[in-house]
Amino acid sequence: MLNYKTLKKVLFLFQPETAHSLAEIGLRILPYFKFIYNYMVNRNFIINPKLKQEIYGINFPNPVGLAAGFDKNATMVKPMMALGFGYTEIGTMTPRPQPGNPKPRAFRFPEQNSIQNAMGFNNEGSATVLMNLKKVYPFSIPVGANIGKNKTTSEEFAIQDYKTLIRKFKDESDYLVINISSPNTPNLRDLQNEKFIKELFSMAKEMTTKPVFLKIAPDMEASTAIELCKTAVDAGAAGIIATNTTIDYSLVPNAKDFGGLSGACLTQKSYELFKEIAKELYGKTVLISVGGISNAEEAYKRLKAGASLIQVYTGLIFEGPSVVKEINEGILELMEKDGFNNISEVIGSDLK
């Protein structure tokens, strides 16, 4: 097997978006090479009853999922088991196809293990994504569908875009995520207000029994974020995913003045906001933590702070295909050290 350090050097010679396309090609064809695919599943997919959870009737074999943004068009669901993920999240997709923002729109900061993206919900549209998803769903691991409005849809009609998407994906996914926190669609974050959230989740509750989560931005004051999360939960949200990328450009030297930052630069900011939200909402709803998680220590810290699940994206790019295996094995080691017999004992242990 090719060493990832070598492969990363090659991939990093290309522009980030080109490198992503090359990785997608490799992952899409991986299941056709059954020997390699099975080898990677056996090597990376950790099967241990201590890591298993049932949440809203969905079985999660381990707590590490792929965050939205990597598999925008549901073309890479199958290979996610080969990378060790316990669940995967596709999208963000919009009702109509969308080219996204002008290129270049993705930038690496290798010294900070961080990425800046201004993709703008580029995707092939809900009809194509749904067709791709139907080829693999239901799958061996849970699949979430992350949905957003089209750039050209005004705030006034945004609710209709989400209604269309919930209707399309509610039967072809295990859970749904409402994305109103990306910084790359103009005025999208303006929808992070109580009126819209109440209307949105009341509608979602009537349309489906599947869990529907709210994904929030890391750039709000903690008190504002907590109130919005409470509003969402009261209106029917199944849980909160915290956080999306940040527009705090001071976190990386020479950052662009547009798009959102992810990776190691976001770790502390994402953790601090998650911790504050968990203090208020742990035990009242399901919490998922994402943002700058690339090792077992950080993942374990988020679990102890109240996260039932965690998500990885940028860490996969910098650490490679063994990162999920290393996180899960590290969690098991830390559990043993602390005397925990099951992951359910770890979750929220800092708050008990």
243 is in an annotated binding site: yes
Mean pLDDT (the chain) is 97
Percent over 90 (pLDDT), the chain: 99
137: three-class secondary structure by DSSP:
coil
- Sequence-ordered list of residues with C-beta below 8 angstroms from that of 128, at least 6 positions apart, any chain: 73, 97
Percent over 70 (pLDDT), the chain: 99
90: three-class secondary structure by DSSP:
strand
Which positions are catalytic? 182
Q: For 340-351, what is the mean pLDDT?
A: 98
Indicate the pLDDT class of residue 3, thresholds 50, 70 and 90.
confident
- The CATH number of the domain holding residue 216 is 3.20.20.70
Q: For 297-317, what is the mean pLDDT?
A: 98
Q: What is the pLDDT of residue 2?
A: 62
- Sequence-ordered list of residues with C-beta below 8 angstroms from that of 177, at least 6 positions apart, any chain: 68, 89, 91, 144, 145, 146, 147, 212, 213, 214, 215, 241
Model confidence pLDDT, tens digit, residues 227-274: 999 999 999 999 999 999 999 999 999 999 999 999 999 999 999 999
118 is in an annotated binding site: yes
Tokens matching residue 121: 């919900």
The verdict on whether omega for the bond into residue 243 sits within 30 degrees of 0, i.e. cis, is yes
187 is in an annotated binding site: no
285 backbone dihedrals φ, ψ, rounded to 5°: -160, 175
Give kind and range of the element (H or E) at residue 54.
strand 53-55
Which structural domain range is residue 326 located in? Answer: 4-351
85 backbone dihedrals φ, ψ, rounded to 5°: -65, 140
Model confidence pLDDT, tens digit, residues 150-161: 999 999 999 999
180: three-class secondary structure by DSSP:
coil
Q: What is the pLDDT of residue 85?
A: 98
Q: What is the pLDDT of residue 4?
A: 92
Total domains in the chain come to 1
Quick check: 291 pLDDT over 60?
yes
70 is in an annotated binding site: yes
